[in-house]
Amino acid sequence: MGGYYLWSSSAFDSKSGQLILVALLVMIASFYTGTLFGTNSSLYNSISHLPSNSSSSPPPSPGTLSLSPSPSLDLYRALIVNCIPTFTNRVGLSYRRIPLTIPDTGMDICPLVFNEYIPCHNVTYVNELLPKLDLSRREELERHCPPLERRLFCLVPPPEDYKIPIRWPTSRDYVWRSNVNHTRLAKVKGGQNWVHEKDKLWWFPGGGTHFKHGASEYIERLGKMITNENGDLRSAGVFQILDVGCGVASFSAYLLPLNIQTMSFAPIDSHENQIQFALERGIAAMISSLATKQLPYPSSSFEMVHCSRCRVDWHKNEVCIKEKDDDYNSTDGILLKEVNRLLRSNGYFVYSAPPAYKQEKDFPLIWDKLTNLTSTMCWKLISRKVQTAIWIKPENQSCLLHNVEQKLINICDSVDDSNLSWNTPLRDCITLSKAQSHSHNLPPRPQRLSEYSRTLSSVGINQEKFISDTLYWQDQVRHYWRLMNTNETEVRNVMDMNAFCGGFAVALSTWPVWVMNIVPKSMNNTLSAIYNRGLIGAFHDWCEPFSTYPRSYDLLHANHLFSHYKNREEGCLLEDIMLEMDRIIRPQGTIIIRDEESIISRIRALAPKFLWDVESHLLENEQKTTEPVLICRKKFWAIL
């Protein structure tokens, strides 16, 4: 073990271990009643506390924060002094090798320094690539996955003093400081009320660079700007928003009471760990960047794209387009054309940044350029006040054709609308409205959850199959809650790794969770239909790690995912996908796997080597026959 110990909260299997657990529970109960330790201050200092997370009570204010004992890792450390169960897994750096082998002692554990390892956003590897990247277009912020032999092949450990996250809805406002132990944002953005330090917690007052007095007031103002003071964002038809450069995602958090779904993203840049803060809070977010490639979302999926000091130079990003054999034309604004691709007809682009209101420096020149670029796309500026400008993308095909004739803009070549936006270069053109989705034809939420998209018929999914899938997952989710034997408050961040039509997410829509619906890039494009149901998600290739931090999700669902990747190349093996699952699931998180019996048997055999507890069950599949289902739970272990 090289001087390291692995500890687990679920490793009491022997009779003596059970006695220790009974003693531990007695101690915890006594601690609650104050009858065991009296005024033992040394023990109190080693115990972590958290705010009450009762859903019936509002989150406590910072001045009246109520604390209650929490059975965190610190508490177990304090009480089990010389009785720490250990595992045979070795702590040491190991890389992916061909052929792939897993030691008899179990998966190696990465050293503690790798507790925030994100394989495709590894700063060390990206720095090696810098001479080959287009830094003028911020290509360094995009995904750059290392070759297989450079990827770590070990379990990512939790950081020192990691605690089970505070539960929703309290987590919107408070998270454990030790779980995201980075102070820079609090120092540089505290004055804008992004995040403040509060004892052992991070406190999120709900502010942002352009709404330091709170996101609620800002959201209300946006609604009034769009509706001429007569309504809110929902009455303006806004139900799905893309938040660019989201910070700690307070904008998204305060849209939830309006039942508006937000896909928030930001790169890994000087605003360190902003996406990790968002996920720890229980808010939908992922790492991504607008640079040289399309975002991994389908066309015409959002009623609003929001940028509040999002650190994107919309007026720049010049590219060279080849018009003839030896003739190249430079053009700006390609990032705005990506926004145009993502916006539904009559959708809004919200821009809260200095060029919208300041008359100093070069801000007026930037504003003029923005207005020229948006005019070429036939957008209409509908409001400009209080540091914010809002454009609408109207249905105006005659305007677009006129601008094409004037050579102000290019129309995209005809492409199959079913193509997935995955590692696709940005296109310096726009698509005519006949290929776009008209959001005014979509009902509001929650009715939108039942919406059948005509795009599904092109991939062989008729309305009968769609309805059958929806009803099936409603039934299966009821079985899942029973089999997981988990309190509903323990699940907030959910990922469906092979989402199909989004039926699993729809079945969870009555619970206080959000679901990241993933459509693998080698599948049919059903993600457009998922967005048309008012849900969110992304395209991805599970031969590569996902763009998120370790310990992002409470629940992973993999329905016949492994069989889809069966017999693929190295990097797509069953063990590779299990390793990525382990990286992104939280300690004590649940992984539900349904697949062929042969695959289920292999996973069941491998699970202990990944330090997972596993239970086997049988449930009915859509063909009305039974199939095996694994309920796996990641042990809460740590390097001591």
Given a cut of 70, is residue 328 above it in pLDDT?
A: no
> Coil, strand, or helix at residue 320?
strand
Q: What is the CA radius of gyration of the chain?
A: 25
Token pair 């657990």 is at which residue? Answer: 21
Is the bond leading into 550 cis (omega within 30 degrees of zero)? no
What per-residue confidence (pLDDT) applies to 458? 86
In this structure, the strands spanning 285-287 and 261-266 are parallel
Give the Cα separation of 612 and 6 in Å (integer): 14
Q: Write down how long the chain is.
A: 640
Structure tokens at 419: 């193509």
> Coil, strand, or helix at residue 381?
strand
In sequence order, which ranges of 352-462 are alpha helices (DSSP H)?
A: 363-376, 397-405
Give the Cα separation of 170 and 53 in Å (integer): 5
Structure tokens at 274: 């902003």
CA 109 to chain centre: 25
In this structure, the strands spanning 201-203 and 174-176 are antiparallel
Name the nearest CA neighbour of 234 among 219, 217, 252: 219
What per-residue confidence (pLDDT) applies to 318? 57
Give the Cα separation of 517 and 557 in Å (integer): 10
Q: Contact at 8 Å (CB) between 624 and 607?
A: no
Enter the DSSP assignment of 22: H
14-18, 437-441, 503-507, range with the lowest pLDDT:
14-18
Give the Cα separation of 79 and 77 in Å (integer): 6
Q: Contact at 8 Å (CB) between 588 and 633?
A: yes
Name the nearest CA neighbour of 211 among 382, 386, 392: 386
Indicate if 448-634 has the same CATH topology as 216-314+332-406: yes
CA 403 to chain centre: 38
How large is the average pLDDT for residues 108-112? 97
Q: How confident is the model at residue 7 (pLDDT cuts 50, 70, 90)?
A: low
In this structure, the strands spanning 637-639 and 626-634 are unpaired
The per-residue pLDDT of the chain, averaged, comes to 85
Token pair 């008012």 is at which residue? Answer: 534
What per-residue confidence (pLDDT) applies to 48? 31
Q: Contact at 8 Å (CB) between 92 and 154?
A: yes
Domain ranges of the chain: 216-314+332-406, 448-634
Give the Cα separation of 221 and 170 in Å (integer): 26
- Find residue 201's DSSP bridge partners: 176, 198
In sequence order, which residues have a C-beta less than 8 Å from that of residue 426 and are 6 or more positions away?
292, 293, 294, 319, 334, 335, 337, 338
Name the nearest CA neighbour of 84 among 5, 164, 3: 5
pLDDT tens across 587-605, in order? 999 999 999 999 999 999 9
Q: How confident is the model at residue 327 (pLDDT cuts 50, 70, 90)?
A: very low
Given a cut of 70, is residue 389 above it in pLDDT?
A: yes
Given a cut of 70, is residue 636 above it in pLDDT?
A: yes
Given a cut of 90, is residue 78 above it in pLDDT?
A: no
Given a cut of 50, is residue 239 above it in pLDDT?
A: yes
Given a cut of 70, is residue 73 above it in pLDDT?
A: no
What per-residue confidence (pLDDT) applies to 563? 96
What per-residue confidence (pLDDT) applies to 432? 83
What per-residue confidence (pLDDT) applies to 569? 83
Query: Is the four-CA dihedral 457, 348, 311, 184 of positive or negative sign?
Result: negative
Look up the CATH number of domain 216-314+332-406: 3.40.50.150
Name the nearest CA neighbour of 284 among 70, 529, 507, 534: 534
For residue 525, the one-letter residue type is N
Given a cut of 50, is residue 466 above it in pLDDT?
A: yes
pLDDT tens across 512-536, in order? 999 999 999 999 999 999 999 999 9
For residue 251, the one-letter residue type is F
Given a cut of 80, is residue 203 above it in pLDDT?
A: yes
Percent of the chain with pLDDT over 70: 82
In this structure, the strands spanning 612-620 and 626-634 are antiparallel
More confident residue, 594 or 419: 594
Given a cut of 80, is residue 349 above it in pLDDT?
A: yes
What per-residue confidence (pLDDT) applies to 186? 74
- Find residue 393's DSSP bridge partners: 347
| Burial class of residue 99 (count of CB atoms within 10 Å of its CB; 0-12, 13-18, 19+) | exposed
pLDDT tens across 57-71, in order? 333 333 333 323 334
More confident residue, 469 or 322: 469
- Find residue 285's DSSP bridge partners: 264
More confident residue, 47 or 23: 23
Structure tokens at 184: 């820079």
Q: Contact at 8 Å (CB) between 277 and 265?
A: no
Given a cut of 80, is residue 403 above it in pLDDT?
A: yes
How large is the average pLDDT for residues 5-28? 44
What per-residue confidence (pLDDT) applies to 173? 97
What per-residue confidence (pLDDT) applies to 234? 95
Given a cut of 80, is residue 329 above it in pLDDT?
A: no
Give the Cα separation of 289 and 140 in Å (integer): 9
For residue 570, the one-letter residue type is E
E strands, 117-156, in order: none
Tally Cβ neighbours within 10 Å of residue 616.
Answer: 12
At the fourth CATH level, which superfamily is domain 448-634? Vaccinia Virus protein VP39 (3.40.50.150)
In sequence order, which ranges of 263-315 are alpha helices (DSSP H)?
A: 274-281
